[in-house]
Structure 1
């Protein structure tokens, strides 16, 4: 596990700095205690990291569950009852894993997965622009288009340009220059710059500039809402007191089970989609065992719920950052969880000096790498059958949320499949009979013919002119819907009125009760 530590260690530090504000922000967006986000991050890194078969995936609290969590806490009436629902959701995920339900990940087409990655990349960019400008009214976890404070993605950006902070803009600009220069020039010059990643330098620069602002050396300042906000325990016992046990007496409440089931299904779906996307981003193209991943996520949610944490999933933002900055094995995910634990216990004061503008610059680069303009051109060149599900997923994610965007992309993907099925249920070969000079229409059915193909088959048969012969060829067919057989049977009866001779090849009469 430690053979790639020279790559995994710097990547884990980057993921740690990316995950920290996300853990806090998602907790805020969920209406949960701030520390619950940190617990979920620690569990996602250490527990899920050890149990998972994913080499590059990173788990933690997911923004896609924030609204569900917020609603569930209100409906259940207490935080401790909600924690029980998290534990039960983990148990359900374990059952799904042992039931080998991970195969559902393979039903999502390439175009939708690419759209998900691109949509998340654009979403990251749009959501980080306000932080880069110093407008930090919203939390890092507020990833939906319509936000809980009444604003939306674009109004936040517009407001940010009107009330930007000079100090935050300066940090953002310098950070972006360093990251771009590091990625395009320095990293190619010496191995030292591969070991010490640009985001680490950016975070250290942000802390240093914040200190210079506070000391008056530079005549700028950052507000309390423009830096990381981590709870600071006054002692080890104070640290332990931040953990909360679930209310097991609520196990007989039907609402708890309903919330648990919804969270288990959505968390599993988000995880499986992120697994698929992460595997596609993996330079070595390794394949994650999905059933094992469901078990790992189930274990993670059980532990997180027992300790007082938010539900966890594999998260593409952290996973893509891990890949983008050199992670090679799951050690990087485990280390990032350890760093979250250590930081929460020891250096919370120092971490609270990190400007959100520094983290925004890092995430802007991550977002760009996911949504490069060349990708849109590539998907367009693959044709509308690939481009339409891709672009609809992107727009859906930007306009609504992650799950709705994926659902919209899947709708267009399924529509394409049905469209192909509609047009590929048969093919026609026309020949001239040498004996009678009669035109023969050879109508060959496909292997699979469903009721959806009724219209196209009926239209094709009705176009056959009178005084001819039609051969309906079943030799390739393995499955045909009863409705289609009825159409062929009716056509055979009516064909006599048009002087059409019907011949069937390899037709097997269906057995009826």
Structure 2
């Protein structure tokens, strides 16, 4: 029996590896695209976090190679996250040193591993779509605010402390108006040209061009920014951006030199209660952002595969422990990289691993070229990402869905911008729960299996009230249906079916085709699968 089990397990592993390697034709190009997107983002987020730029690259490498290998998601890509920038910036300032902060990152990773072991990943299923979208939009607003000084060319440390506002530091936000007195024309020109390129790259007429399809806009922005600054150097010296306004990465000449560039945690700070507070905050926020981004990525996945959340928490925890030990920023699954991965045609997680390998190779082989990149170019990339996360059309679409979707969305954004990410999510969840309680006093069950004459037919009858609180159980029930079945999802008895549940059903209908499952619905409204970017 043991031999048979071992053989079956070995065969399963071989089949899994075969499936992964069979898609290299689409995964390798996708990994290249994600690398080209991730490189400027790793640098930009480190810049925005007040951390060494090299720490952003380290985090991207670990997120790609380590977490990409351990994750159970086919499409998610991990790296330094925009949602953690404010927490990292505050933590480094409050703790007083980057090495003390790294100790908190190690602890945060250990907490995430424990959360994965406790199977706490299901908590991500109980966050309504409105709160997820509000979280992403709130991060977008913060990104925009924090990149404005770099877009204006304010790069000196003394001035950055004045103009880079903490989330709830409104006096610093108001000081942004004084940027008209302190700016660099060269940086503004590069920012405007970069924004123009990025907006042009999103136009349908550009996307239709085959030779442009696999060239990411951020890469073009970085190259053009370097060329413009070189032009300034030789022809318009007063517009030239010097070293203080460009990327600064160490040049790695040997393995010993690489080790010398790493920063290690200061474990003597373990008796500092502030370190533990930062660790718990990072663990909670990073886990929430990972789980919400994981769900968002699953919604973008054309195959509608469901990623295992507990395994993802374990993978993220291992990644953050390693980052803390060698000087990397904390990481999460990131929707920007994940969406780039999916739209580029990735089929398996090997694309995420490949992008991490490319990031590592770039630091070893071309640090001199990377150090030519103007910070204004990175600021432009992050400004547009911020706008895409908080674009006006998103507000309009949420308003059309009704106040039960719009109010949690807006309050989440306001809470994140005024207070912080965790408080903002809590406020949004509170508002969403109030709506549920107002219309749902008691619900003994949310689905039942109704027996049919045909044993291959599964008849699922939804109850009178089905809310987003039932989403996790519904996902599990649908995921357990074996191939070859005929499923009838019956909403005849339901007076209210929450939008999140309708979206789960819509995603299942798409994924069922690949499992040879026939799906029929009765009195269930059709919705388009959610798009969160």
Asked if these proteins are the same fold (TM beyond 0.5), I'd say yes
Map 1:403-418; keep pairs closer than 5 Å: 403-418=422-437
Residue 418 (structure 2) pairs with residue 395 (structure 1):
no
Moved more, 404-413 or 261-270: 261-270
For residues 432 and 56 of structure 2, the distance between their equivalents in structure 1, rounded to whole angstroms, comes to 35
Cα drift, residue 299 of structure 1 = 1.0
Q: Matches of residues 300-311 of structure 1 in structure 2 within 5 Å?
A: 300-311=319-330
Is the 1:85–1:257 Cα contact (8 Å) retained in structure 2? Answer: yes
Which residue matches 2:143? 124
Contact map agreement 1:11 1:327 (CA 8 A) in 2? no
Q: What are the equivalent positions in structure 2 for 1:268-283 lying under 5 Å apart? A: 268-283=287-302
For 1:280-429, what aligned pairs fall within 5 Å after superposition? 280-319=299-338, 329-421=348-440
Q: Counterpart of 1:243?
A: 262
Residues in 2 aligned to 1:213 and 1:74: alpha-carbon distance in whole angstroms: 35
Matches within 5 A, 1:486-505: none
- Residue of structure 2 equivalent to 1:18: 41
The CA distance in 1 between the partners of 2:76 and 2:254, in whole Å, is 33
**Secondary structure of the structure 2 residue equivalent to 1:194:** coil
How far is the alpha carbon of 1:257 from its aligned partner? 5.5
Deviation at 1:267, TM superposition (A): 2.5
Say whether residues 1:6 and 2:25 are aligned partners.
Answer: no
Tell me what 1:145 maps to. 167
Pairs within 5 Å for 1:94-173:
94-136=113-155, 137-138=159-160, 144-146=166-168, 151-152=172-173, 155-156=175-176, 158-173=177-192
Q: Among 199, 221, 229, which residue is 2:218 paired with?
A: 199
Paired residue secondary structure (2:202): helix
Asked if the contact 1:49/1:334 (under 8 Å) is kept, the reply is yes
Which position in structure 1 is the counterpart of 2:451?
Answer: none
Gaps of 5+ in 1: 426-445, 449-513
Within the candidate set 189, 203, 206, 1:187 is matched to 206
Determine the structure 2 residue equivalent to 1:510.
Answer: none
Equivalent-residue separation in structure 2 for 1:280 and 1:320 (angstroms) = 10
Q: 1:222 — aligned with what?
A: 241
- Separation of aligned partners in 1, 2:192 and 2:63: 32
User: Which residue in 2 is equivalent to 1:43?
Assistant: 62
Indicate if the aligned counterparts of 1:393 and 1:405 stay in contact, CA closer than 8 A.
Answer: yes
Secondary structure, aligned partner of 1:375: helix
* CA 1:68–1:9: 2 relative to 1, 3 Å: closer
Q: Deviation of residue 89 (structure 1)? A: 2.9
CA distances 1:150-179 after superposition (whole Å, capped 9, x unpaired): 612x542x2334433222222222223322
| Aligned residues of 1:119 and 1:395 also touching (Cα < 8 A) | yes
- Provide the C-alpha distance between the structure 2 equivalents of 1:138 and 1:234, rounded to a whole number of angstroms: 31
Q: TM-score, normalised by structure 2?
A: 0.68
Instruction: Please report the TM-score for the alignment, with normalisation by the length of structure 1.
Output: 0.71
- Superposed CA RMSD in Å reads 3.6
SS in structure 1 of the partner of residue 261 of structure 2: coil
Query: How far is 1:204 from its partner?
Result: 0.8
Instruction: Give 1 or 2 for the bigger CA radius of gyration.
Output: 1
Contact 1:27 1:37 in 2 (8 A): no
Match of 2:459 in 1: none
Tell me if structure 2 keeps the 8 A contact 1:297–1:312: yes
How far did residue 144 of structure 1 move?
A: 4.2
Say whether the 8 Å CA contact 2:44–2:379 is kept in structure 1: no
2: distance between equivalents of 1:73 and 1:176? 30
Which stretch shifts more, 416-425 or 396-405?
416-425
CA offsets 1:243-284 (integer angstroms, 9 cap, x no match): 244456776887766654443333222322222333334455
Q: Which residue of 2 aligns with 1:174?
A: 193
1:228-256 residue CA offsets vs partner (Å, 9 max, x unmatched) = 23234565422211224445677688776
Of residues 45-54 and 33-42 in structure 1, the stretch that sits farther from structure 2 once superposed is: 33-42
How far, CA to CA, are the matches of 1:165 and 1:237 in structure 2?
Answer: 38
Tell me the distance in 1 between the aligned counterparts of 2:331 and 2:113: 13
**SS of residue matched to 1:60:** strand
Q: Report the secondary structure of 1:313's partner residue.
A: strand
Q: In 1, Cα distance between the equivalents of 2:208 and 2:86?
A: 46
1:332–1:159 Cα change, 3 Å: farther
Q: What SS does structure 1 have at the residue aligned with 2:250?
A: coil
Residues 54-73 of structure 1: pairs in structure 2 closer than 5 A: 54-62=73-81, 64-65=83-84
**Distance of aligned partners of 1:243 and 1:212 in 2 relative to their CA distance in 1, 3 Å threshold:** same
Q: Is 1:265 the counterpart of 2:254 in the alignment?
A: no
Task: Summarize the Cα distance change of 1:198–1:41 in structure 2 as closer, same or farther, 3 Å threshold.
Answer: closer
Q: Distance in 1 between matches of 2:357 and 2:50?
A: 19
Deviation at 1:297, TM superposition (A): 0.5
